[in-house]
Structure 1
Amino acid sequence: MLTENKDEMRDKILEAALKRFTQFGAGKTTMNEIADDIRCSKASLYYYFPDKNGLHNAVLAKVGEVYFNGIEDAVKNMTSASAALRQLIDIRHDFIQKFCRLELFKLLKNGPPAQIAAQMNEVKEKETALIARMFEKGIQDGEFIEMDPVQAAELYNQALIGLRFSVLQGIPHLGEPSPEEFSLIIAKQKQLAEIFIKGMQKR
């Protein structure tokens, strides 16, 4: 029972932190404000999260779970590989809109470089694995030409990630891209998806 209570309290803290981060930004939120929101002492808050960076990492893990659950649902329920690939871009767009004030990149940059690299690599690997399943579905259904789905997924995901850096080149901004810049990236990613889909479809 004690374990359940600890888990419930931890989840309560994460929900309060996520609510504040998405509304006001992580940088402008204090541990005191989160403690006040859930009516607990600051000491209790630090029992679960010894510092703000620890809380940031836990929040990142929580929103990452939301993101990948969305992609997993798209994979499980896909009627076609083409539709799933298009939906993947929409999932990314909806995710960014929902959590744009969370300052995801700023939170990531607060961690040790090795930890940041590991987190980014884990995200890329998970995305690639889910995209590979979309390609496999397309091949099995005769929608796509024969190919190595894993290699194709790696190339596709690398291209999607690369567009972020390509689109922002020359656009003046500090740190995290703005919602408008993200919308531009998403638009380019949708164009890329259509090129890939047309290139893979059986004639």
Structure 2
Amino acid sequence: MHTENKDEMRDKILEAALKRFSQFGAGKTTMNEIADDIRCSKASLYYYFPDKNGLHAAVLDKVGELYFKGLEEAVANMTSASVALRDLIDIRQNFVKKFCRLELFKLLKNSPPAHFEQKMNEVKVKEAALIEKMLEKGVKDGEFEEMNTVQVAELYNQVMIGLRFSALQGIPHLGEPTQDEFEIIIEKQKQLAQIFIKGISKR
């Protein structure tokens, strides 16, 4: 089997798994169902993914690519750094709504600790780098005050991440936050972004 065909088959499996996970959740999806969807044998499926955990990890990587593709497009097309910072929150919100049934948090938590930590760090670093580009544009265009964009981007990202946890204090829930709880987080993040943008904008 040629490498190109292998890559195409792997992508086909991931697309089928992502569709299944989005509709029914990862926990309720079996390898047999995915194999049936793409009309291949279960043995063929296990050739590419030896177990369900491996498939979960690959789907998470695929979803991460889609998420950052959206962020990168926002950065590439931004006309205002302030607007781009606000759009970042909306992109995250739309992403969660689209993939909420994937049980992303559960998948990550069920992955090996080293993998979970690695993925969380990758997200944090990539998000901070994109925020830094937004700040750099704001400074260059005279929209923002002069600043150390690396430090400010890291601080902003850390505070936003912190809100994802602190905003739900006092709200009992188990596992992945519900859609209503995500709405609370997003609203808090939008309030913080407004205060932050006002603080760094040129008077």
Bin of the TM-score, shorter chain as denominator length: over 0.9
Deviation at 1:120, TM superposition (A): 0.4
Q: Which amino acid aligns with 2:106?
A: K
For 1:184, the equivalent position in structure 2 comes to: 184
Moved segments of 4+, more than 3 Å: none
- 2-side partners of 1:104 and 1:125: how far apart? 19
Alignment correspondent of 1:49 = 49
The equivalent of 2:5 in structure 1 is: 5
SS of the aligned residue for 1:145 comes to coil
Aligned residues: percent identity? 78
Please state how far the C-alpha of 1:118 moved relative to its aligned partner.
Answer: 1.1
- Superposition pairs of residues 44-123 of structure 1, within 5 angstroms: 44-123=44-123
Partner SS for 1:168: coil
Q: What's 2:154 paired with?
A: 154
Deviation at 1:2? Answer: 1.0
* 1:119-164, Cα deviation, whole Å (9 max, x unpaired): 1001100000000000000000010001100110111111111001
> Which letter maps to 2:160?
L
Give the CA RMSD over aligned residues.
0.8
Q: Provide the residue aligned with 2:29 in structure 1.
A: 29
Q: Structure 1 CA distance, aligned partners of 2:171 and 2:16?
A: 34
| CA distance in structure 2 between the aligned counterparts of 1:124 and 1:105, rounded to whole angstroms | 15
- TM-score between both structures, scaled by the size of structure 1: 0.98
Q: Does 1:16 align with 2:35?
A: no
2:157 partner amino acid: N
Deviations 1:10-68 (A, max 9, x none): 00000000000010000000000000111111000000000001000100000100000
Q: Matched residue pairs, number?
A: 203
Question: Structure 1, residues 167-202: CA drift from partner, whole Å, max 9, x if none?
Answer: 111111110000110111011111111001000100
CA–CA separation in structure 1 for the residues paired with 2:146 and 2:170: 39
Which sections of structure 2, spanning at least 5 residues, go unmatched?
A: none
Q: CA deviation at 1:104?
A: 0.6
Q: How far 1:72 moved relative to its partner?
A: 0.4
Match of 2:195 in 1: 195
SS at structure 2 position matched to 1:54: helix
Structure 1 residues without counterparts, runs of 5 or longer: none
Q: Distance in 1 between matches of 2:162 and 2:199?
A: 19
In 2, the alpha carbon distance for the partners of 1:180 and 1:26 equals 21
Question: Could you tell me the TM-score, scaled by structure 2's length?
Answer: 0.98
